[in-house]
C-alpha cells in the first residue's frame, strides 16, 4: 500500500496527462478521463465473533465504462485508501483497452486486515459489500474479481449474496471463482504465461534465440513461478530468484550460475512463494542480499514481485548485457528509472501490457460464465496466447514507427481507444 507521501492517483493522473498531451486530446475528454465516472463510499456493519459490532469502510470506483462493463479486483487491506482504489481503477481502464477486450476499468476495497478476522467475519464483510452495491454491479455493469488478500472463497460469498438479492443465477457477476463453481481453467497460469508470451515476441523482434538467454527473476509467487515454468520451456536459463526466506521473513537472492533446478526449488517453497534458505544452501545455491537479482549479468530481468523496485538508485546496478525487462509486477519501475532504461536502449515490456494475462483470462471466465459453457485448459491458454501476442505486436509496431518508448506506446494505444469510445458514444 502507498506510503504517506506517495499518492498513487496523482501518479496515475500525471501519466495520463503526459500522454493526453501527445494525443492532443481536447479539454472535455481530458476532464472526463483523468477522473472516475462514479465512486461509492459506504459503511459495512459487522457483528463480530465476540458479540460487538464493528463498522468497516468500503469503496468501489468505476473509472470508465465506455468500452464495456467495469472490471477490477477488490482488495482487503488495513491501509486501503480511496486514492489507491482510484488509481487502480484508472489503470484497469488502460489495461483492458491495451489488450482490446470489451471491458472498462473499476476497482474496489475494504479497509480491514483479514489476518485478524475469522472466516465468519470476512464472510459478513463480503456479503455486506455486495448489499451496498447490488444495484451498481452485475455481469453487464461492473464485474469484480479477487485482488490483494481476497480469494476465490470471498468471490463465491459475494456471488451467493448477489444471487440471493436478485433471485437469479448470475455466475458472470464475478471472476476468480473456484473451478467447478464457474471459474475458468488456466486462470492460475494466466498472468505468468502472459508475461512470457510477450517476452517471446520481444526476443523474436530483437532476433535473439531464447535458448541462448539467461534471466534473473524477482519474486517466486504465482506470477513468477508460471513465468519461470514457461520461460524454461522456451529453452532459457534462470540463474537467480529473489524472494522471502520462510523463517526469518527477510528477502534474499538465490543464485545458481549454471541455472536453477526449478522442480527442486519448488519442493522447498511454501504456499506464499518463500524459499527455505538452509535447504537452498544445501542444494548449492549462493545466498545473496534481496536486491542482488537486479545486479546479475543476464539478458532478461523479470520483476514479478513488488512496486518501486527499479528506481533511481537500483537502475544504476543493471548490467550492460541486459536487453529486455518484462514487468510481471504492477508498477515495479519508477519514472526516474524509466528515463535511464530508455536512454540505454533496453527493451521494456510495460506492466499493464506484460501482466494483462490475468484480466484477459478473467474476461474469458466472464464469457464462459455468461454462456454457461466452459472451455478446456488448452483452449483457454491458446486464446490467451493469441490475445497477448496481438496486443504486444500493436504496441511494438507503434513504438517502432513513432520512435516511442514501449510504455508510452502502450499508453497511447490504450488512452486513444478509450477516448475514441467516449467520442463515438457522444459523451464528449
Strands (E), 176-256: 214-218, 237-244, 251-255
- What is the extent of the structural domain holding 76? 38-94+103-183
pLDDT tens, residue by residue, 357-374: 999 999 999 999 999 999
- Does any domain span residue 262? yes
Estimate to the nearest angstrom the gap between the alpha carbon of 165 and the chain centroid: 31
Q: 285 and 312: one domain?
A: yes
Q: What does the block give as the cell for 283?
A: 542444494
Do 207 and 254 reside in the same domain of the chain? yes
Both 70 and 216 in a single domain? no
In 3D, which of 131, 163, 167, 148 has the Cα closest to residue 40?
131
- Percent of the chain clearing pLDDT 90 (strictly above): 85
Report the number of distinct structural domains present in the chain. 2
Q: How far apart are CA 410 and CA 428, in angstroms?
A: 23
For residues 343 and 273, membership in a common domain is answered with: yes
Question: Does residue 154 share a domain with residue 240?
Answer: no
Residue 4 is predicted with a pLDDT of 53
Do the domain assignments include residue 422?
no
Contact 19, 91 (CB under 8 A): no
Is 125 found in the same domain as 42? yes
Q: Edge-to-edge strands of the sheet including 105-111?
A: 38-47, 53-64, 105-111, 70-77, 142-146
Element (H, E) at 251: strand 251-255
Asked if residue 379 belongs to a domain, the reply is: no
Q: Is pLDDT above 80 for 5?
A: no
The size of the chain, in residues, is: 428
The answer to whether 333 and 327 have CB atoms below 8 angstroms apart is: yes
Residue 211 contacts residue 221 (beta carbons within 8 Å): no
Among residues 311, 337, 354, which one ends one of the domains? 354
Q: Last residue of a domain, which of 354, 384, 407?
A: 354
For position 1, what pLDDT does the model report? 44
Q: Is 110 domain-assigned? A: yes
Strands (DSSP E) found in 97-213: 105-111, 142-146
CB atoms inside a 10 Å sphere around CB 267: 11
Q: What CATH number does the domain containing 160 carry? A: 3.40.50.10860
Residues 119 and 246 in one domain: no
Label the pairing between strands 38-47 and 53-64. antiparallel
Looking at 136, 157, 183, the residue that finishes a domain is 183
Whole-angstrom distance, CA of residue 381 vs CA of residue 409: 26
**All three cell numbers of 114:** 483479514
pTM attached to this predicted model: 0.90
204, 338: one domain: yes
Percent of the chain as helix, strand, coil, to the nearest 5: 50, 20, 35
Q: Is 107 a catalytic residue?
A: yes
Q: Encode pLDDT of 161-184 as tens digits.
A: 999 999 999 999 999 999 999 999
Q: How many CA atoms lie within 13 A of 124 on its CB side?
A: 16
Q: What is the CATH number of the domain that holds 197?
A: 3.40.50.720
Q: Residue 365: inside a domain, yes or no?
A: no
User: Region 94-109: what's the mean pLDDT?
Assistant: 96
Q: Which of 47, 54, 95, 107 is catalytic?
A: 107
In this structure, the answer to whether residues 249 and 277 fall within a common structural domain is yes
* 276 and 314 part of one domain: yes
What values do phi and psi take at 280, rounded to 5?
Answer: -65, -40
Residues 326 and 218 in one domain: yes
Domain-embedded: residue 321: yes
* Residue 304, in any domain of the structure: yes
Kindly state whether residue 173 falls inside one of the protein's structural domains. yes
Residues 277 and 347 in one domain: yes
pLDDT, one tens digit per residue, over 234-272 is 999 999 999 987 677 788 999 999 999 999 999 999 877
**Lowest-pLDDT range of 97-111, 329-343, 400-414:** 329-343
Amino acid at each position: 500500500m502507498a506510503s504517506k507521501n506517495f499518492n498513487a492517483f496523482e501518479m496515475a493522473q500525471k501519466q495520463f496527462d503526459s500522454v493526453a498531451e501527445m494525443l492532443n486530446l481536447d479539454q472535455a475528454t481530458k476532464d472526463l478521463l483523468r477522473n472516475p465516472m462514479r465512486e461509492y463510499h459506504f459503511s459495512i456493519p459487522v457483528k463480530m465473533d465476540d458479540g460487538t459490532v464493528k463498522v468497516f469502510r468500503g469503496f468501489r470506483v468505476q473509472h470508465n465504462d465506455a468500452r464495456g462493463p467495469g472490471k477490477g479486483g477488490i482488495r482487503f487491506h488495513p491501509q486501503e485508501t480511496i486514492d489507491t482504489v482510484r488509481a487502480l481503477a484508472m489503470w484497469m481502464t488502460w489495461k483492458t483497452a491495451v489488450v482490446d477486450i470489451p471491458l472498462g476499468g473499476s476497482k474496489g476495497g475494504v479497509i480491514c486486515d483479514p489476518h485478524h478476522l475469522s472466516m465468519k467475519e470476512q464472510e459478513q464483510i463480503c456479503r455486506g459489500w455486495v448489499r451496498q452495491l447490488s444495484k451498481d454491479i452485475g455481469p453487464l455493469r461492473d464485474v469484480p474479481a479477487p485482488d490483494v488478500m481476497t480469494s476465490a472463497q470471498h468471490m463465491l460469498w459475494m456471488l451467493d449474496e448477489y444471487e440471493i438479492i436478485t433471485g437469479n443465477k448470475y455466475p458472470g457477476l464475478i471472476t476468480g471463482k473456484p473451478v467447478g463453481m464457474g471459474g475458468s481453467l488456466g486462470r492460475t497460469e494466466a498472468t505468468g504465461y502472459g508475461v512470457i508470451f510477450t517476452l517471446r515476441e520481444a526476443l523474436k523482434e530483437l532476433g535473439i534465440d531464447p535458448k541462448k538467454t539467461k534471466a534473473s527473476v524477482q519474486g517466486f509467487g504465482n506470477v513468477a513461478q508460471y513465468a519461470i515454468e514457461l520461460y524454461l520451456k522456451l529453452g532459457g536459463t534462470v540463474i537467480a530468484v529473489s524472494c522471502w526466506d520462510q523463517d526469518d521473513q527477510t528477502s534474499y537472492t538465490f543464485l545458481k550460475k549454471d541455472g536453477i533446478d526449478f522442480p527442486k526449488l519448488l519442493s522447498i517453497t511454501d504456499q506464499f512463494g518463500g524459499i527455505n534458505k538452509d535447504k537452498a544452501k544445501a542444494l548449492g545455491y549462493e545466498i545473496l542480499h534481496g536486491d542482488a537479482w537486479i545486479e546479475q549479468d543476464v539478458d532478461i530481468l523479470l520483476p514479478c514481485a513488488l512496486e518501486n523496485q527499479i528506481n533511481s538508485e537500483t537502475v544504476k546496478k543493471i548490467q550492460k548485457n541486459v536487453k529486455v525487462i518484462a514487468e510481471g509486477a504492477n508498477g515495479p519501475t519508477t519514472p526516474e528509472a524509466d528515463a535511464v532504461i530508455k536512454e540505454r536502449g533496453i527493451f521494456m515490456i510495460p506492466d499493464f501490457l506484460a501482466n494483462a494475462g490475468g484480466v484477459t483470462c478473467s474476461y474469458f471466465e466472464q464469457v464462459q460464465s455468461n454462456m454457461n459453457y466452459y472451455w478446456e485448459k488448452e483452449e483457454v491458454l491458446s486464446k490467451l496466447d493469441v490475445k497477448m501476442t496481438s496486443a504486444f505486436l500493436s504496441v511494438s509496431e507503434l513504438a517502432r514507427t513513432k520512435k516511442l518508448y514501449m510504455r508510452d506506446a502502450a499508453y497511447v494505444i490504450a488512452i486513444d481507444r478509450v477516448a475514441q469510445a467516449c467520442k463515438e458514444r457522444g459523451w464528449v
